[in-house]
Amino acid sequence: MAAERAGVRSATIVATNFLAQAKAIGRTQGFKSLPLAEYPGVDPFDSTEVFVEKIGNVVVDQIVEGLASQIELAPAAAAPKPRDVVFAGDFDAVQDHFEQNLWSDGLPIAPPTIERVEEFLRFTDRSPDEVIGELLPERREATVWSVAVNGVMAGCRPEYMPILLGMAEVMVEPMWRIEDGGSTPGWEPLAIVNGPIVKDLNFNYGTGAMRVGRRANSSIGRFARLYMRNIAGLLPGTTDKGTLAYTFNVALAEDEDAVAKVGWRPFSVERGFAPGESVVTVQSVVGISPPIYVAGGAAEIAQKIVESWGEGNVKLWAYTGIMFHQWHPLLVLSPCIAEVFAKEGWSKDDLKRYLYENTKMPAWHAERGPRLRPQLIPGYSTQNLCKLVEAGELPKEYCLSSDPERLVPVFFRSETIGIVVAGDTGKNQCKGYTQNAKQGVPLSKLIKLPVRWEELLSEARDRRANGRNQYATPSSRGVSSQ
């Protein structure tokens, strides 16, 4: 598309299953149509002979036709303004309308009336018209207003607004690569919350910390997926091609009381923030380990984590981190496990270093992991670790010899492993969360509270305690646009 804008003719080869995505993304970039050459079928299952035949007999003709065609630009669609009412009706009618327009995630939404949205805006000193940034693939502006609208829809409370804004600030960062949120692995964002706001907003960081059931954790987790859907424009089947995917993660809050008890640093402090600051971090998760039960001393526990997580599902996905030279797996420990490590003098950094140094795989596993067709992406189906070390893209540990059976680190770099303490204080369990390489790298933002934060929070608590509902019903007042 960049070539077409520059006046250079081009044609894009797309497998059958990705045609709808290619056309949809073309429209978001302002093209009515783009020259597409369809590769029929699923190419990794084709033999080299079949692959060559399809390219020669099917794809080449489409490329020639595409290069000879005229590119048509699509006029920009008119969008409603922030306070425009887009629909009026009862609760069920609102649900149907939002679902028909692909504005919901399939669950009932709280109707975003003007009154509800404005209540959210009370919890920020920022202008509702402020543009936070632009979100691909739809190239829509992320605004304070749209954050409030989607926060309402997700079932958030108004006082969650500062966290939602921090999450939006992460999503607009080019380094976060929200445009890859529709890639086939089907990764989901995970929000990690630290600081006094965890208790201010009654997050669950204990038993069942990653289960739906606590409003702050659940609705803030849902907000991330809704915002990616409604503002970024990641829609399943077209711009979102998650093959199987899974549902949204609830927000993860760290148990900072447990962290302080063992003398460790909170996750947010490890990421460069001061103790006592409220921070939200958002990263991608492409897979979650089974529960890992441990016992014994620190070294025995660490080795069990190596065997269960490092040599399990993390190893299967490690080649992506090595291939893209970036990877940020996350380990969540229950507080009683952290206590064992701390009593024996282990810090979070000590545990990270142990995982890095003791979790290994054969070099050939990392080099051949992608198993994609070299005919389509030269150099991508295999990777030479020694050449990457020579180029300065991998640590020297990846090329201590040329033996394909030599053992190399699974975790890429020790400092890129995240560790959070949360969960049941009396259970010896941990879990690992596998991050998706360059897509959704963990980025952290300071949660900016309004000047009147304490007063507003007190008012909200008092209103709920007295059963006062300040909202109009959707049947009497219309729902706002995003």
Question: pLDDT-based confidence at 75, cuts 50/70/90?
Answer: low
DSSP β-bridge partners for residue 432: 331
Q: Which two tokens stand for residue 476?
A: 């009497």
Amino acid identity, residue 291? P
- Of 108, 174, 17, 48, the closest CA to residue 474 belongs to 108
Name which of 54-58, 213-217, 355-359, 470-474 the model is least confident about. 470-474
- With the CA atoms of 148, 439, 204 and 103 taken in that order, what torsion angle do they form, in degrees rounded to the nearest 10? 40
Give the start-to-end residue ranges of the domains of the chain. 2-73, 80-284+439-482, 287-434
Between 186 and 443, the higher pLDDT residue: 443
Question: pLDDT-based confidence at 105, cuts 50/70/90?
Answer: very high
Inform me whether the pLDDT recorded for 433 exceeds 90.
yes
Between 193 and 373, the higher pLDDT residue: 193
Inform me whether the pLDDT recorded for 194 exceeds 70.
yes
Beta strand 292-293 with 429-434: parallel, antiparallel or unpaired?
A: antiparallel
What angle, 0 to 180 degrees and rounded to 10, lies between the N-to-C axes of helices 144-153 and 114-121?
120
What are phi and psi for residue 370, nearest 5 degrees?
-60, -45
Contacts of 45 (CB under 8 A, 6+ apart): none
Peptide bond into 362 cis (omega under 30): no
CA distance to 82, 109, 230, 265, 343, per residue, from 261 (Å): 47, 40, 42, 10, 11
Between 434 and 12, the higher pLDDT residue: 434
In the prediction, which pLDDT does 469 show? 61
In angstroms, how far is the first alpha carbon of the chain from the final one? 28
Contacts of 76 (CB under 8 A, 6+ apart): 30
Supply the DSSP symbol for 281. E
Q: Is 458 exposed, middle or buried (0-12, 13-18, 19+ CB in 10 A)?
A: exposed
Between 83 and 165, the higher pLDDT residue: 165
Distance CA 458, CA 159 (A): 10
Inform me whether the pLDDT recorded for 114 exceeds 70.
yes
- Of 242, 246, 248, 249, the closest CA to residue 186 belongs to 242
Length of the chain: 482
Q: Which two tokens stand for residue 359?
A: 């979790």
Q: Which two tokens stand for residue 86?
A: 């887009």
Q: Is 62 exposed, middle or buried (0-12, 13-18, 19+ CB in 10 A)?
A: middle
Distance CA 395, CA 390 (A): 9
pLDDT digits (tens, 9 = 90+) for 321-363: 888 888 999 999 999 999 999 999 999 999 999 999 999 999 9
In the prediction, which pLDDT does 370 show? 52
In the prediction, which pLDDT does 476 show? 39
pLDDT digits (tens, 9 = 90+) for 226-263: 999 999 999 998 889 888 988 899 999 999 999 999 99
Find where tokens 């960081």 sit: 205
The mean of the pLDDT values for the chain is: 89
Inform me whether the pLDDT recorded for 6 exceeds 70.
no
Name which of 31-35, 99-103, 210-214, 478-482 the model is least confident about. 478-482
Question: pLDDT-based confidence at 373, cuts 50/70/90?
Answer: very low
Contacts of 419 (CB under 8 A, 6+ apart): 267, 270, 330, 331, 332, 333, 348, 351, 352
Mean pLDDT across the stretch 74-91?
Answer: 81
Percent of the chain scored above 70 by pLDDT?
90
Contact indicator for 19, 38 with CB cutoff of 8 Å = yes
pLDDT digits (tens, 9 = 90+) for 290-323: 999 999 999 999 999 999 998 887 888 888 888 8
Name which of 68-72, 392-396, 410-414 the model is least confident about. 68-72
Q: Which two tokens stand for residue 19?
A: 């045609």
Supply the DSSP symbol for 174. G
